[in-house]
Structure 1
Amino acid sequence: MHSLIIGCGDTGTRVAARAVAAGDRVTGVVRSDASAWRVRAVGAHALQLDLDLDALELPACERLFYFAPPPREGEADTRMQRVLDALPAVPAYAVYISTSGVYGDCGGEWVDEDTPVNAQTERARRRVDAESRMLAYCGHATVLRAPGIYGPNRLPVDRILDGTPILDDAEGGWSNRIHIDDLAAVAWRAGDAHWAHRVYNATDGHPTRLGVYYDTLAGMLGVASPPRISWAEAEQQFSSMRLSFLRESRRISNQRLLDDSGYVFSFADFRAGLDASMRAQAPLD
């Protein structure tokens, strides 16, 4: 079978490696030379394209993995539409990685896939649009709504070492996450099956307060926990994007994913995931 991975970055390269190991022909669509090198390093073919500007001549595929982000502006994923229009045929399997941000702020309540979307930022509304486009194009596609993705070289190590403050948990909400290896494994499994539903929360199912996550990582680094600041102070110090994430609080259930896929998480406990990520982390300069 042919696996086509649109936006073959960190997660996509991990999926590409699994597809190569399964005997698939694999094409990873990337933009940069560095990304192309990483795709080729796992035995896949790299196709360098600018999805917004280049004429798109894409190969037919049996498995489509769409991991490219939407454009930076607007409320529509025109980038995805260009890709879908360029595909010669609807694939047998299609997987799109979206974001749990489509739920918006839920006041710390538990969220499952039956919770209505309530995107409160333009960024999240682009993701809602992308989900709709993918499912309209391929009715049997699987949409994976991922929260914060962590893993090797995807940790806030510099912030902790620099003593950058975080919002006090008393004024903040809940955070959810998934280790990048688990996300890639779930995506690959979704690309080889038609599960009972179309939308799944791709999260480890163990939400925590943000401070717990940062304190645990600080302990592994052998440094002091980050200082806490109030919401009023955060509004003065943090970027508008960071504040937009902090304004939303929800606890995300992954029960549907567990029930339908049978997947067993390698890192359901973020502490184990942090430890493995630190061991694999590239050394700091």
Structure 2
Amino acid sequence: MKATRKFRRPRVLIVGCGDVGMRCVPLFEPHAHVFALTSHAGRRAELRAAGVSPLVGDLDARRSLKRLAGLAPTVLHLAPPQKTGDDDRRTRALLATLSARGPRVLRAARGTVMPVARQRRVRAAWMESEAANIVPDGVRRAAGLRTPVRLVYASTTGVYGDCGGAWIDETRALQATNPRAKRRVSAERQLRRATARGAIAASIARIPGIYAGNRLPLARLDKRTPALIDAEDVYTNHIHADDLAAILVRMSTHGRPARVIHASDDTSLKMGEYFDVVADAFGLERAPRITRAAAGQQIEPTLLSFMRESRRLVNRRLKEELRVRLRYPSVEHFLREVRGGTGTGSVGEAKGRD
């Protein structure tokens, strides 16, 4: 009986169910039946233990995704792009699968093909009402139109490139410079075009550096990896993994189609300052400071790439549109909790957002 009730719940599919995805699972339960796509068959037991129904498939092998078509009306797309090229082929494969769920042609009530002009008006009415979070049942019934899959995409603030430390909102022009960020721009554009076609209803979270008790730069501090001197340092942005999970789940019900949200807290710290506050909280020696010229010789290229971009994120939409109240409004709030002995998660190394 319990299993039967579970399968009657609304379905949610998480694509890329890593640390953040697993934090989303208890926020969906007990009101939803959560599925997760994994490319590692060995994770099935772990996912089942968390109450998730695992599906083995690979975004790099489109044929393995067939079971996803029509599976769930809500999708969290948390999977990163592949590691090469400027085009995100994984998002392209996922979109092709999810788009197959909806009808290719809108039909009128008596089964005749609806004129193109009418199709456009129906889609426009749906988009307008969806943006206002109103379910247009009358429009759908009259047009024989299914509700597109609601998808939340976890993008990165790296799509902006270097902003010289300026405060920016979601209207800032995209100027991705590194291949990782260019693939994210590709994914966003694919999702926005699919939303404009009515194939899906995608909202986009642009995510900065993710931290938590198990995602702090302690190993870096132990290794004495240098940071930049203050005069040459860059501003970074942060979000706690638990707050990020809550934001993504909120967007799955209240995110507007094609709308971008900064999933960022209120922290305004340079990178070196961030390392300093973490070191102080754990009684560690602060990172040594070096010039940018010296960093080019001492720091490996991937890590150095994060030291070339400086920006500060305005999160007004997060608070005013989604009405999200962050558990940890800043890194300092979390570290005070850690010092008090109530911080969540084990302590480990940081995992940044590309």
Question: CA shift at 1:128, angstroms?
Answer: 0.5
RMSD value, Cα: 1.9
Question: CA shift at 1:52, angstroms?
Answer: 0.5
Name the structure 2 match of 1:146: 207
Question: CA shift at 1:159, angstroms?
Answer: 1.3
Amino acid at match of 2:33: R
Name the structure 2 match of 1:264: 325
Question: CA shift at 1:273, angstroms?
Answer: 2.2
2:75 partner SS: strand
Residue correspondence of structure 1 range 51-200 to structure 2 within 5 A: 51-53=59-61, 55=63, 56-59=65-68, 60=70, 61-87=72-98, 88-89=100-101, 91-139=148-196, 140-195=201-256, 198-200=259-261
2:253 partner SS: coil
1:9–1:30 contact (8 Å) kept in structure 2: no
> Are 2:38 and 1:30 aligned?
yes
Q: 1:136 to 1:58 in 2, by over 3 A?
A: farther
2:14 partner SS: strand
* TM-score, scaled to structure 2: 0.75
1:57 partner SS: helix
Q: 1:81 to 1:238 in 2, by over 3 A?
A: same
2:36 partner SS: strand
Q: 1:45 to 1:196 in 2, by over 3 A?
A: closer
2:236–2:269 contact (8 Å) kept in structure 1: yes
1:268 partner SS: coil
2:39–2:57 contact (8 Å) kept in structure 1: yes
Q: 1:156 to 1:163 in 2, by over 3 A?
A: same
CA distance in 1, matches of 2:230, 2:32: 46
Name the structure 2 match of 1:201: 262
Worse overlay, 159-168 or 62-71: 159-168
1:151–1:274 contact (8 Å) kept in structure 2: no
CA distance in 2, matches of 1:37, 1:233: 47
Question: CA shift at 1:92, angstroms?
Answer: 4.0
1:16–1:39 contact (8 Å) kept in structure 2: no
Name the structure 2 match of 1:251: 312
CA distance in 1, matches of 2:261, 2:247: 10
Question: CA shift at 1:186, angstroms?
Answer: 0.4
Name the structure 2 match of 1:16: 25
Name the structure 2 match of 1:7: 16
4+ runs deviating over 4 angstroms: 275-278
Q: 1:37 to 1:138 in 2, by over 3 A?
A: farther
Name the structure 2 match of 1:228: 289
Amino acid at match of 1:121: N
* TM-score, scaled to structure 1: 0.93
Structure 2, unaligned runs of 5 or more? 1-9, 103-147, 349-354
Structure 1, unaligned runs of 5 or more? none
Worse overlay, 85-94 or 202-211: 85-94
Worse overlay, 130-139 or 243-252: 130-139
Name the structure 1 match of 2:344: 280
Question: CA shift at 1:53, angstroms?
Answer: 2.7
Question: CA shift at 1:189, angstroms?
Answer: 0.4
* Residue deviations 1:1-51 (CA, integer Å, cap 9, x gap): 110111111111111221123x21111111225543442232111112221
CA distance in 2, matches of 1:197, 1:274: 35
1:153–1:282 contact (8 Å) kept in structure 2: yes
CA distance in 2, matches of 1:82, 1:171: 41
Determine what percentage of the aligned residue pairs are the same residue: 36
Q: 1:172 to 1:242 in 2, by over 3 A?
A: same
CA distance in 2, matches of 1:147, 1:65: 17
Q: Report how many residues are paired.
A: 283
